[in-house]
């Protein structure tokens, strides 16, 4: 079986390859742009058949070089910087590239799982996978929403092979070291705590108190499990599921909880007792900083995945890791890396 993973040197793509390797799949074409050569570290311990530069891969697809060659596609490649202001760059990377691969997958009858985003919901208070609930706040969210719309048109016209879009909520976990500002809050707070003994959170905004803005935080382990669920369905089962599904835990948690989980996981590894929130604030271990002005009208203060479609139509029945357990797993990996 020949599997293509785009964004292969990225956070989610590399973790998908790791799990594919664990399951005995090594005939993998890893596609990415390694202009940031540090990302190659994410591939160093993985086994693949070939690495292909993203632009070379696009040209090969256009030229028909991969026609009838590929058995499965995990399309994780995208510009994930929600603060990126270059709309032309964003649309080329996230929309046009995705449309090209979708057309190829349908033409060659290749099952296709791709990364959408909870950023498509933007200002909406409703997190159900329908166009009426999608009000993106930035061009990143718009690029993802527009591709979801393209996929919906394919659904209406009739598919030649399964297509699954996954609206990722706030993912945290190992192999995100290269993401800079876009890395998870867990990684930022882990580094702050290790270097300074304290972590910083935004002050309140839009009616939320200090650190009380809430997101649906999902571990990379669970994200990989959801991807593998559809991979198994498309390759081993006669029930070929298609659809656009939320990929979150279904539970919103305040950033205060996330930060405290990170701090206490570090303290546990050091042999110290856990702290409660008020104690962490009183001791200056959690500090609040002014909300950044450049995020004022682009920030989701609340997200919470509605998992009804994932469970009922997507047939996903596994439980998600509790926040504290997922964060502790990640912190232990960071401490031992």
Residues annotated as catalytic (active site), given as ranges: 140, 179
The two tokens of residue 1 are 């079986």
Give CA–CA dist 237/222, Å, rounded.
21
Cβ atoms of 286 and 280 within 8 Å: the answer is: yes
Q: Which residue reads 């599921």 in tokens?
A: 241
CB 220 within 8 A of CB 172: yes
Secondary structure letter of residue 36 according to DSSP: S
CB–CB of 66/60 below 8 Å?
yes
- Angstrom CA distances, 16 to 53, 99, 242, stand at 18, 22, 19
Residue 289 — φ and ψ, nearest 5°? -120, 155
Nearest to 228 by CA among 288, 179, 166, 290: 166
């Amino acid at each position: 079986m020949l599997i293509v993973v785009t964004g292969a040197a990225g956070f989610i793509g590399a973790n998908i390859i790791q799990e594919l390797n664990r399951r005995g799949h090594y005939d993998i074409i890893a596609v990415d742009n390694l202009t940031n050569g540090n990302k190659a570290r994410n591939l160093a311990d993985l086994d693949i058949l070939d690495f292909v530069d993203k632009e070379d891969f696009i040209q090969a697809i256009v030229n028909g070089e991969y026609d009838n060659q590929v058995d499965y596609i995990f399309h994780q490649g995208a510009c994930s910087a929600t603060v990126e202001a270059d709309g032309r760059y964003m649309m080329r990377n996230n929309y046009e590239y995705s449309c090209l691969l979708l057309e190829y997958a349908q033409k060659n009858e290749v099952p296709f799982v791709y990364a959408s985003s909870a950023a498509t919901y933007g200002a909406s208070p409703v997190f159900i996978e329908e166009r009426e609930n999608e009000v993106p706040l930035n061009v990143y969210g718009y690029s993802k929403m527009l591709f979801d719309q393209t996929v919906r048109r394919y659904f209406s016209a009739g598919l030649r092979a399964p297509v699954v879009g996954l609206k990722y909520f706030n993912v945290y976990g190992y192999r995100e070291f290269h993401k800079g500002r876009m890395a998870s809050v867990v990684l930022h707070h882990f580094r702050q705590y290790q270097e300074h003994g304290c972590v910083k959170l935004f002050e309140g905004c839009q009616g939320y108190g200090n650190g009380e803005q809430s997101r649906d935080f999902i571990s990379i382990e669970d994200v990989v499990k959801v991807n593998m669920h559809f991979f198994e369905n498309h390759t081993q089962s006669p029930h070929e599921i298609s659809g656009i599904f939320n990929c979150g835990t279904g539970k919103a948690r305040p950033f205060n909880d996330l930060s405290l989980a990170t701090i206490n996981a570090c303290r546990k590894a050091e042999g110290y007792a856990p702290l409660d929130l008020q104690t962490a604030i009183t001791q200056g271990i959690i500090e609040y900083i002014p909300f950044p002005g450049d995020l004022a009208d682009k920030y989701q203060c609340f997200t919470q995945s509605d998992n009804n479609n994932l469970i009922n139509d997507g047939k996903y029945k596994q439980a998600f890791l509790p926040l504290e357990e997922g964060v502790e797993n990640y912190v232990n990996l960071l401490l031992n890396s």
